[in-house]
Amino acid sequence: MPKKNPDKFDVIVIGAGPGGYVSAIRCAQLGLKTACIDDWRDKNNQASPGGTCLNVGCIPSKAMIDSSEKYHSSMHGLKEHGIEIGDVKLNLKAMHSRKDKVVKELTSGVAALFMANKITFVSGRAKILADKNVEVIGHDKKDSQTIVADNIIIATGSSPKEFKLAPFDNKNIVDSTGALEFPSVPEKLCLIGAGVIALELGSVWRRLGAEVVLLKSRKNFLPEVDNDVSTEALKLFTAQGLNLKAGVKITQCKSEAKSVHITYQEDGKDVSYKADKLIVAVGREANTKNIFDKTLAIDLDEKGFIKVDDQCRTNVKGIFAIGDVVGGAMLAHKGSEEGIMVAELIAGHHASVDYETIPSVIYTDPEIAWIGKTEQELKTSSVEYNVGKFSFSGNGRARASGATDGFIKVLADKHTDRILGVHIIGPQASELIMQAKLAMDFSASSEDLSMTMFAHPTLSETLHEAALSVDNRAIHAVQAKKK
């Protein structure tokens, strides 16, 4: 019998973000000999698995969101609770230190999980060669090694897109990573873009005292969100001091010694704005540059994303791709589930991902979360539906907490009553949306939710009332009779 190559792996995962490291762990749990290659380095030039999400994205941004909310609350929201304090001071350096500590704890946790699951971690930049050989080049660009596997999972993620008129200078014009590292609060902050990332980052610095202006080329605000929710969000964010300029055309961005001069056209007129910092948040692009030899001919789409089937297989047998690098919903949890699916498939099991019920969240205050179809999508598809809606202002727990902005909206099929979508703007929307996901995953009707007993007093009772409202049966609201 031929000897088995001791340096050959069953699976090589390229990338240690939420898609890659989760996939690697599941592969190892399934008994597959697994290696994971990642080139991320922390501020001390040490290997730091976790990808964009743990290092400079989801986790540090949420740490800053939480800290900024606490600061703002101590300045403006405690007096009505009967709590009076003296002068509140911002220690931004300490806030950054806390954020960095949270990141380090989680990235170290990933490294520990790799060790516990006997996953071979290789630090460096990977390139896929012929016959599933993978070359790994060290960070000094001198040392290299080649490893081989039966299967390869590409999980290289995405990077912020650059805006041609405002190239990043890592000083005054920054991407989402640089926006989490400002050494002081900008007096005036401008953002190009008004999507999820721009709103979250803009909200952080607004709460910490910056004057914030968001510039976007399209007139519609948050087009991917249900119209009722986006309308309410715009009203609330404007009241908080986020100045949104929609339908503008940026003509020039000039970085100066300590500021950025932005010129744009609004309603046919030239407008000039001078900001201390400019954050460019115009989307993300796939990390596919130089990750595989051209002779492999892995198919990419016109935007540079890797083409895959509904089980994340590329056109090259034994090579899979997951997460941001394949496009679609660029969400950490989507990448993780794809990674688990691929691990199961490689191990010979059946697996799939339900792309119809992926929850989405914007971590503003109030939070925004949604799942399934929006009302505008149902109208476009000529699907007949019923609507149930309930405001947090009618919820006892929200009243007790002083967080009454927003509502929950349930969309149900007019004929079957099956829940088609749930849309939330309000306190803890990121947590509440999971009750909707569970209901939709089990093909629940609005009646199923309305017949479910919810604990009192809880914010989740708002979902209960919204489900009751579909059939005009909300208890804690006066409803007009439906025709």
Catalytic residue among 139, 349, 415, 456, which? 456
Structure confidence at residue 476 (pLDDT): 95
What span, in angstroms and rounded, lies between the C-alpha atoms of 376 and 380?
A: 6
pLDDT tens for 343-391 read 999 999 999 999 999 999 999 999 999 999 999 999 999 999 999 999 9
Class at the top of the CATH hierarchy for domain 8-159+285-353 = alpha beta
This prediction's pTM: 0.95
Contact indicator for 367, 430 with CB cutoff of 8 Å? yes
| CA-to-CA separations, 360 to 215, 232, 390, 429, in angstroms, rounded | 23, 17, 20, 10
Distance, in Å, from the CA atom of 45 to the CA atom of 243, rounded to the nearest integer, reads 38
The chain-wide mean pLDDT, for the chain, equals 96
Gap between the Cα atoms of 384 and 225, Å rounded: 19
Task: Check residue 482 and give its pLDDT.
Answer: 64
Cα separation, 322 vs 343, in Å, equals: 11
Q: Does the annotation count 423 as an active-site position?
A: no
Q: Give me the phi and psi of 120, to 5 degrees please.
A: -80, 115
pLDDT at 483: 59
Q: Can you tell me the distance from the alpha carbon of 424 to that of 455, in angstroms, rounded to the nearest whole number?
A: 19
The gap from C-alpha 457 to its chain's centroid, in whole angstroms, comes to 30
Q: Which CATH code of 3.40.50.1110, 3.60.21.10, 3.40.50.300, 3.30.390.30 fits the domain covering 357-470?
A: 3.30.390.30
| Residues 457 and 400 sit within 8 Å (Cβ to Cβ) | yes
Which residues does the chain have with pLDDT short of 50?
1-3
CATH superfamily of 173-282: FAD/NAD(P)-binding domain (3.50.50.60)
Structure confidence at residue 2 (pLDDT): 40
128-186 tens-digit pLDDT: 999 999 999 988 777 899 999 999 999 999 999 999 999 999 899 999 999 999 999 99
Question: How many angstroms separate the CA atoms of 338 and 352, rounded?
Answer: 8
Residues 6+ apart with CB under 8 A from 27: 10, 11, 13, 34, 343, 346, 347
> What secondary structure, in 3-state letters, does the chain show?
CCCCCCCEEEEEEECCCCCHHHHHHHHHHCCCCEEEEECCECCCCCECCCHHHHHHCHHHHHHHHHHHHHHHHHHHCCHHHCCCCCCCCCCHHHHHHHHHHHHHHHHHHHHHHHHHCCCEEEECEEEECHHHEEEEECCCCCCEEEEEEEEEEECCCEEECCECCECCCCCCEECCCHHHCCCCCCCEEEEECCCHHHHHHHHHHHHCCCEEEEEECCCCCCCCCCHHHHHHHHHHHHHHCEEEEECCEEEEEEECCCCEEEEEEECCEEEEEEECEEEECCCEEECCCCCECHHHCCCECCCCCECCCCCCECCCCCEEECHHHHCCCCCHHHHHHHHHHHHHHHCCCCCCCCHHHCCEEECCCCEEEEEECCHHHHHHCCCCEEEEEEEHHHCHHHHHHCCCCCEEEEEEECCCCEEEEEEEEECCHHHHHHHHHHHHHCCCEHHHHHCCCCCCCCCCHHHHHHHHHHCCCCCCCCCCCCC
Model confidence pLDDT, tens digit, residues 389-424: 999 999 999 999 999 999 999 999 999 999 999 999
- Where, residue-wise, is CATH 3.50.50.60 in the chain? 8-159+285-353, 173-282
